[in-house]
Structure 1
Amino acid sequence: MLQALSYPSLRVVLEQLEASKRFHISARCSTISRFDKTIPLRIDRLQFADNTISLNRIIFQFGSISVLETEEQARRRIQESLTPGDILLDYKNDERIIKVEQIKYLKYSDDYQSQRQRYTRRLPKNVTPSDALKTLSNFILEQRKDIKVAHLNIWNHSQNVLRLPQNIQFQVRGLRAAKNDVKLLKQIVDPSCFPLVFIRVEAWKEEYSEDSFLQSSNELIVYTTNNSTEYWFATLLKIKNLSVQMREIFFLKAKS
């Protein structure tokens, strides 16, 4: 009979285990789940987007769709609602009786590249996608004191709230942000990992040229448009990063 792993050995194994596999094991073993959050968590790629959390290869996406019932479904629903004395009038092609139902769902994919759908589950009617995202974020990340993330991506576009556990901080190597204000993300980055290897921004702001957090990274990667060559020449002189990459830049002709 094989001897069980000792507690110290099990901690080492769990710490080196790929994050999604670790969550899978912890969710199915109450013994491991009791101390899992005391062990450092290593994530290669953690991404937050609109109602979405992506962790390495897996994607959790919450959303809602509006479903329009068919005329036959509407007819059946009204028939079932009749009580003694009711008279069913002609309602054919009357769009007012067609019911629109909003269905909220969780979609889980286990392959980030192909986004192959593993399953979709319907959320309870009283739970919004934002509520569900917060609950999932807490379940995965809350009460963990040591979360090491190689690449942290904040890709929110249509939603302006980042759903995270209270007082959380990540030990990050690189940070990517879409239109989000990078300065606001400093609070979720553990100061012990400064300077970051790189920070990438896709919506440049004038105040970034004076921001100490942004300029503390070894490399600054900028995606931007809509400014003249004169503006960028002046801005680059202010930037103190060791390396600056400018990608997909479209310069505007200076006004004469």
Structure 2
Amino acid sequence: MNLSNHTVLISGGTAGIGFEIAKLLTEKGNHVIITGRDQKRLDEAVSKLDNVTGILFDTTKEEEVDRLVSRIGADFPSLNVVINNAGLAYAYDVTAGLKSWEKAEQEMYTNYVSLIRLTEKMLPHLLKQETAALVNVSSVAALAPHVAVLTYSASKAAVHAYSEGLRLALKDTSVKVFELMPPLVNTEFSKEIGGQENGIPASQVATEFAAAFERNVYEIHVGATAQIFGLARTSPATAFNAINGVEV
């Protein structure tokens, strides 16, 4: 995939990884549509970017998905890249009796079920394009779960499995399926699990994503994710210990 002359939809594009990818892609000559659930944050993000459209949107609400898909078809008929970036994560101790199933339900619905719904509803549009791409943002935690975000890790493992299967299902179409797997990133999103102290910059994720996207690398291992991936191939237990800081 080249890096210019696309029309791109990024869910959850007002901050962090989504915003940095939007910034990079607009600088490369693409028109980018970013979505967010907070109008003030959406307006602030749009004000910092060129050649961008902001749409207030909650990926967990089906009626809003339908409105978005309808608007894309009417106002952006050339849209050919969808980046499923919106996500939710809770950091907590699963032994503390905090009703982890309720948190898991929200994470799974936001990170996985809602991603599938938006993807399926956008597919008829994407399949009309000469060249198109779907990008699902998962996590290094899809390869080895982190105990601080255990149920979030499970939701991203589901995204990883779905992405692999979808890539095969669409192999004879115009739609390429990418998966972006960041490590810990310095964003507000990862503040609770030490992202602001130990995470890489979101701009690094965007830069490494763009380089891999241009080379048609379909599973994109950013930063330390490449190391965890290598460990997981040879010893899943070693990868698990490494991501959780367990010395053996």
Taking structure 2 as the reference length, what is the TM-score of the superposition? 0.30
Structure with the higher helix share, 1 or 2:
2
- Structure having the higher Rg: 1
Structure with the higher strand share, 1 or 2:
1
Q: With CA pairs under 8 Å and 6+ residues apart, which has the higher RCO, 1 or 2?
A: 2
